[in-house]
Amino acid sequence: MTVVLDNAKPRVSTPPTDANHCYHCGEPCEDERIVSDGKAFCCTGCKTVYEILSENKLDTFYALEATPGKTLRAKANADYAFLDQPEVVQKLVDYEDDQLIKVSFKLPAIHCTSCIWLIEHLYKIDEGVLKSTVNFLAQEAHFQLNPQKITLRQLVELLDKIGYAPQLQMEQLTQGGAVVKDRTFSYQMGVAGFAFGNIMLLSFPEYLGLEESAFQRWFGYLNIVLSIPVLVFSAKSYWQSAWNSLRQGQWNIDVPISLGIAVLFLRSVYEIVSETGAGYLDSLAGLVFFLLIGRWFQLRTYNHLSFERNYQSYFPIAVLRWQDGIFASATLDTLRVGDLVRIQHNGLVPADGVLEAGTAQLDYSFVTGEAVPIEKKAGDRVFAGGRQVGGQIDVRLNKAVSQSYLTELWNDEAFQKNYVPGSSVLLNRIGRFFTPVVLTVAIFTLGYWWPIDHRIAMHAFSAVLIIACPCALALSVPFTLGNALRLLGKMGVYIKHTHVIESLHDVDTIVFDKTGTLTSTEQVKDIQYLGDALSVEVQQYIKSVVAQSSHPISRLLAGLWPDVAVLPVSQFEEFAGKGIRASVAGQEVKIGSAGFVQPHPASPGTWVKVEGTCYGPFVVRHSFREGIANLLKEWSQQYDLYLLSGDNSAARTELAQYFPDAHLHFDQSPHDKLEFIKSLQAAGKRVMMIGDGLNDAGALQQSEVGMVVTEDVNNFTPACDIILSSRQFADLPKVMKYQVNTIYLVYAAFGLAFIYNVVGLSYAVQGLLSPLIAAILMPLSSITIAVFGLLGSNYLFTKIGSDKSHLN
Among 13, 17, 20, 60, contact with other proteins (rule: CB under 8 A): 60
- Is 37 one of the binding residues for other proteins (CB under 8 A)? no
Q: Phi, psi at residue 564, to the nearest 5°? A: -80, 135
Choose the stretch contacting other proteins; rule: CB under 8 A; options: 151-159, 180-188, 265-273, 668-676. Answer: 180-188
SS3 for 645-689 is: CCCCHHHHHHHCCCCCHHHEECCCCHHHHHHHHHHHHHCCCCEEE
Contact mark string toward other proteins, 256..275, x via CB under 8 A: --------------------
- Is 113 one of the binding residues for other proteins (CB under 8 A)? yes
CB 61, min distance to other proteins, A: 11
Among 218, 444, 747, 795, contact with other proteins (rule: CB under 8 A): 218
- Is 126 one of the binding residues for other proteins (CB under 8 A)? no
Cα dist from 594 to 63, 388, 536, 586, 604, whole Å: 54, 20, 23, 23, 6
- Is 489 one of the binding residues for other proteins (CB under 8 A)? no
CB 395, min distance to other proteins, A: 42
| Alpha helices (H) in 507-549, listed in sequence order | 536-546
DSSP H or E run through 266: helix 254-273
Choose the stretch contacting other proteins; rule: CB under 8 A; options: 159-167, 179-187, 368-376, 613-621. Answer: 179-187
Strands (E), 39-94: 39-41
Would you say 796 and 745 are in contact if contact means Cβ atoms under 8 Å apart?
Answer: yes
Among 18, 154, 160, 215, contact with other proteins (rule: CB under 8 A): 215
Among 18, 79, 120, 712, contact with other proteins (rule: CB under 8 A): 120
SS3 167: coil
Contact mark string toward other proteins, 753..772, x via CB under 8 A: --------------------
Q: CA 168, CA 795: separation in Å to the nearest integer? A: 42
Site for other proteins in 222-241 (CB under 8 A): 222
Q: Which is nearer to other proteins, 138 or 566 (CB)?
A: 138
Q: Which is nearer to other proteins, 229 or 422 (CB)?
A: 229
CB 163, min distance to other proteins, A: 19
CB 18, min distance to other proteins, A: 23
CB 47, min distance to other proteins, A: 21
Tell me how many residues contact other proteins (CB under 8 A). 31
Would you say 472 and 772 are in contact if contact means Cβ atoms under 8 Å apart?
Answer: no
- Is 138 one of the binding residues for other proteins (CB under 8 A)? yes
Site for other proteins in 635-674 (CB under 8 A): none
- Is 121 one of the binding residues for other proteins (CB under 8 A)? yes
Q: CA 706, CA 698: separation in Å to the nearest integer? A: 10
CB 108, min distance to other proteins, A: 16
Q: Which is nearer to other proteins, 147 or 205 (CB)?
A: 205
- Is 191 one of the binding residues for other proteins (CB under 8 A)? yes
Site for other proteins in 308-367 (CB under 8 A): none
Q: CA 544, CA 550: separation in Å to the nearest integer? A: 13
SS3 234: helix
For the chain, the farthest-separated pair of C-alpha atoms sits apart, in whole angstroms, at: 116
Among 130, 161, 197, 752, contact with other proteins (rule: CB under 8 A): 197
Q: Which is nearer to other proteins, 209 or 684 (CB)?
A: 209
Q: CA 716, CA 311: separation in Å to the nearest integer? A: 9
Q: Which is nearer to other proteins, 188 or 252 (CB)?
A: 188
Pairing type for strands 579-584 and 587-593 reads antiparallel
Among 137, 629, 776, 787, contact with other proteins (rule: CB under 8 A): 137
SS3 711: coil
Q: CA 632, CA 639: separation in Å to the nearest integer? A: 10
Would you say 384 and 404 are in contact if contact means Cβ atoms under 8 Å apart?
Answer: yes
| Burial state string for 262-289 with b = 16 or more CB within 10 A and e = fewer than 16 | bbbbebbbebbeeeebbbbbbbbbbbbb
Beta bridge partners of 614: 609
Q: CA 533, CA 562: separation in Å to the nearest integer? A: 17
Contact mark string toward other proteins, 494..533, x via CB under 8 A: ----------------------------------------
* The length of the chain, given as a count of residues: 808
Percent helix, strand, coil in the chain (nearest 5)? 45, 15, 35
CB 58, min distance to other proteins, A: 9
CB 806, min distance to other proteins, A: 23
Site for other proteins in 369-408 (CB under 8 A): none
CB 38, min distance to other proteins, A: 16
Q: Phi, psi at residue 800, to the nearest 5°? A: -75, -25
- Is 490 one of the binding residues for other proteins (CB under 8 A)? no
- Is 198 one of the binding residues for other proteins (CB under 8 A)? yes
Return all residues near 706 (Cβ < 8 A) that are at least 6 apart.
Answer: 688, 689, 691, 696, 699, 700, 719, 720, 721, 722
CB 747, min distance to other proteins, A: 33
Q: Which is nearer to other proteins, 199 or 545 (CB)?
A: 199
Among 201, 536, 776, 783, contact with other proteins (rule: CB under 8 A): 201
Q: In what order do the strands lie in the sheet with 587-593?
A: 526-529, 613-621, 606-610, 587-593, 579-584, 569-575
Q: Which is nearer to other proteins, 140 or 363 (CB)?
A: 140
CB 651, min distance to other proteins, A: 44
Pairing type for strands 509-513 and 687-691 reads parallel
- Is 135 one of the binding residues for other proteins (CB under 8 A)? yes
- Is 306 one of the binding residues for other proteins (CB under 8 A)? no
SS3 13: coil
Cα dist from 501 to 480, 481, 686, 740, 741, whole Å: 11, 7, 13, 8, 10
Q: CA 699, CA 672: separation in Å to the nearest integer? A: 9
Cα dist from 573 to 359, 579, 580, 588, whole Å: 18, 9, 6, 11
Choose the stretch contacting other proteins; rule: CB under 8 A; options: 211-219, 524-532, 611-619, 659-667. Answer: 211-219
Q: Which is nearer to other proteins, 219 or 311 (CB)?
A: 219
Q: Which is nearer to other proteins, 65 or 271 (CB)?
A: 65
Q: Which is nearer to other proteins, 253 or 713 (CB)?
A: 713
Query: How many Å from the N-terminal Cα to the C-terminal Cα in the chain?
Result: 12
Choose the stretch contacting other proteins; rule: CB under 8 A; options: 178-186, 535-543, 685-693, 790-798. Answer: 178-186
- Is 183 one of the binding residues for other proteins (CB under 8 A)? yes
Among 52, 100, 116, 564, contact with other proteins (rule: CB under 8 A): 116
Task: Write the DSSP symbol of residue 275.
Answer: T
- Is 181 one of the binding residues for other proteins (CB under 8 A)? yes
Among 50, 136, 314, 410, contact with other proteins (rule: CB under 8 A): 136
CB 499, min distance to other proteins, A: 25
Q: Which is nearer to other proteins, 29 or 122 (CB)?
A: 122
Q: Which is nearer to other proteins, 191 or 487 (CB)?
A: 191
Choose the stretch contacting other proteins; rule: CB under 8 A; options: 76-84, 117-125, 527-535, 666-674. Answer: 117-125
- Is 57 one of the binding residues for other proteins (CB under 8 A)? yes
Q: CA 133, CA 402: separation in Å to the nearest integer? A: 35
Binding site for other proteins (CB under 8 A): 3, 57, 60, 64, 113, 116-117, 120-121, 133-138, 181, 183, 186-187, 190-191, 194, 197-198, 201-202, 212, 215, 218-219, 222
